[in-house]
Amino acid sequence: RLAAFARRQLPAHVTVAAVANFADGSTDVQRAVRDTGTIVDSGAQEVDVVLPYAALRQGDAASVSTLLGAVRKACPELLLKFILETGELKDDRLIERACRLALDAGADFLKTSTGKTSVSATPEAARLLLGAIRSDGHAAARVGFKPSGGIRTVADAASYMVLCEEF
């Protein structure tokens, strides 16, 4: 809701991002597309969208894929970060599945968390996201990684920087 204001206040070289489908990661495609349209109309350059992690936990990958694809279509020219909410997915196989769905939908970044759950970024989840990016021939050269949530110190940030260098 503040992206347009931020865009007007900031110099052109500073990018503005806003989040869609926040914070619950629902499967409501219309809501996510509406949120995304508002972000696009605001002049923001980046969209973050919360992957429907509860649906994925329940085995509903089709709804997840539909929502992610619809959001990508709603912002084809903008940088798109998919927030996987890895602390809620917990299981390595679910996190890997979320990565695959996000990459297949055209993610520009894989992001660990909204920071609104009890478990946010973890080194273990970071390794899974980085591994998924590296193992995808199309993604390896173009998709970024963003650890998010629970990173409070320089030492915390440094540990993720080391992980990125390993991959």
Going from the C-alpha of 29 to that of each of 46, 62, 114, the distances in angstroms are 19, 12, 19
**Residue of 41, 111, 136, 156 with catalytic role:** 111
Q: What is the pLDDT of residue 112?
A: 98
* Prediction pTM value: 0.95
Q: 19: closest CA among 109, 150, 138?
A: 109
Token look-up 């914070």 returns 23
111 is catalytic: yes
**Residue of 24, 28, 48, 90 with catalytic role:** 48
* Amino acid, res. 68: L
Strand stretches in 40-141, DSSP E: 46-50, 79-83, 109-111
pLDDT of 43 strictly over 90: yes
**Residue of 24, 90, 146, 156 with catalytic role:** 146
Q: What is the pLDDT of residues 53-104, one digit of tens each?
A: 999 999 999 999 999 999 999 999 999 999 999 999 999 999 999 999 999 9
Q: What is the pLDDT of residue 96?
A: 98
90 is catalytic: no
> pLDDT band at residue 136, thresholds of 50, 70 and 90?
very high
**pLDDT > 90 in the chain, percent:** 99
pLDDT of 1 strictly over 90: no
